[in-house]
Amino acid sequence: MRLLAFLGFVAAFCAGSLSAQEFTTLKGHGGPIMGLATAASGQVASASFDNSAALWDGRAPRWLEGHDAAVTAVTFAGPGRLVTGGDDFAIRLWTTDGRSRVLGQHKGKVRGLAVSADGQSLASASWDGSLGIWSLGEEAAPHMIDLGSGVNDVAFGPNGMLFAATMDGRILRIDPERDSAPRPLAEQGFGVNRLIVDEQAGWLAYGAVDGATRVIDLASGAEVADFTLDRRPILAMAYHQDTGQLAVGDGHGYIMMIATAATGEKWRIARDFRAARKGPIWALAFSPDGGTIWAGGLDDVIYGWPVALMGEFDPAMGQWRTFLRPADSMPNGERQFMRKCSICHALTPGESRKAGPTLFGIFGRRAGSLPGYRYSPVLDGSDIIWNDETIDALFDLGPDHYIPGSKMPMQRITAAEDRKDLVAFLKYATQPKE
* DSSP state letter for 424: H
Is the pLDDT at 370 greater than 70, yes or no?
Answer: yes
Out of 309, 335, 367, a domain closes at: 309
Question: Do 55 and 29 touch, CB atoms closer than 8 A?
Answer: no
Q: In this structure, is residue 317 part of a structural domain? A: no
Q: In this structure, is residue 408 part of a structural domain? A: yes
CA-CA-CA-CA torsion sign (402, 407, 409, 415):
negative
pLDDT of residue 404: 86
Q: What percent of the chain stands above pLDDT 70?
A: 93
- Residue 400, judged by CB atoms within 10 A of its CB (0-12, 13-18, 19+), counts as middle
Higher-confidence residue of 73 and 323: namely 73
- Domain residues for 74? 17-309
62-73 burial by CB neighbour count: b if 16+ within 10 A, else e? Answer: eebebbbbbbbb
What is the CATH number for 77?
2.130.10.10
Query: Where residue 12 falls among pLDDT bands split at 50, 70, 90?
Result: very low
* Closest listed residue to residue 206, CA positions, set 184, 235, 176, 244: 235
Looking at the structure, do residues 123 and 149 belong to the same domain, yes or no?
yes
Looking at the structure, do residues 208 and 98 belong to the same domain, yes or no?
yes
Looking at the structure, do residues 344 and 234 belong to the same domain, yes or no?
no
Chain-centre distance for alpha carbon 200: 27
Q: In this structure, is residue 25 part of a structural domain? A: yes
Looking at the structure, do residues 292 and 329 belong to the same domain, yes or no?
no
CB within 8 Å of 182: residues ≥ 6 apart: 145, 147, 164, 172, 173, 174
What one-character-per-residue DSSP string does 257-295 give? EEE-GGGTS--EEEEEEE-BSSS-EEEEEE-TTSSEEEE
Q: Which amino acid is at 74?
A: V
Query: Where residue 323 falls among pLDDT bands split at 50, 70, 90?
Result: low
Q: In this structure, is residue 342 part of a structural domain? A: yes
Looking at the structure, do residues 305 and 327 belong to the same domain, yes or no?
no
Out of 277, 309, 341, a domain closes at: 309
Per-residue pLDDT reduced to its tens digit, 209-218? 999 999 999 9
Higher-confidence residue of 78 and 167: namely 167
Looking at the structure, do residues 128 and 189 belong to the same domain, yes or no?
yes
* DSSP state letter for 385: B
pLDDT of residue 4: 34
CA atoms within 13 A on the CB side of 403: 27
What is the CATH number for 369?
1.10.760.10
Out of 256, 277, 309, a domain closes at: 309
| Cα radius of gyration rounded to whole Å, the chain | 22
Per-residue pLDDT reduced to its tens digit, 166-175? 999 999 999 9
Looking at the structure, do residues 45 and 178 belong to the same domain, yes or no?
yes
Domains held by the chain: number: 2
Per-residue pLDDT reduced to its tens digit, 184-233? 999 999 999 999 999 999 999 999 999 999 999 999 999 999 999 999 99
Q: In this structure, is residue 8 part of a structural domain? A: no
Looking at the structure, do residues 280 and 371 belong to the same domain, yes or no?
no
Distance CA 383, CA 390 (A): 11
CA-CA-CA-CA torsion sign (255, 169, 67, 124):
positive
Looking at the structure, do residues 64 and 119 belong to the same domain, yes or no?
yes
Task: Tell me which of 244-248, 307-311, 372-376, 393-397 is least confident.
Answer: 372-376
Is the pLDDT at 433 greater than 80, yes or no?
Answer: no
Higher-confidence residue of 316 and 173: namely 173
Segment of 54-63, 241-250, 263-272, 345-354 carrying the highest mean pLDDT: 241-250
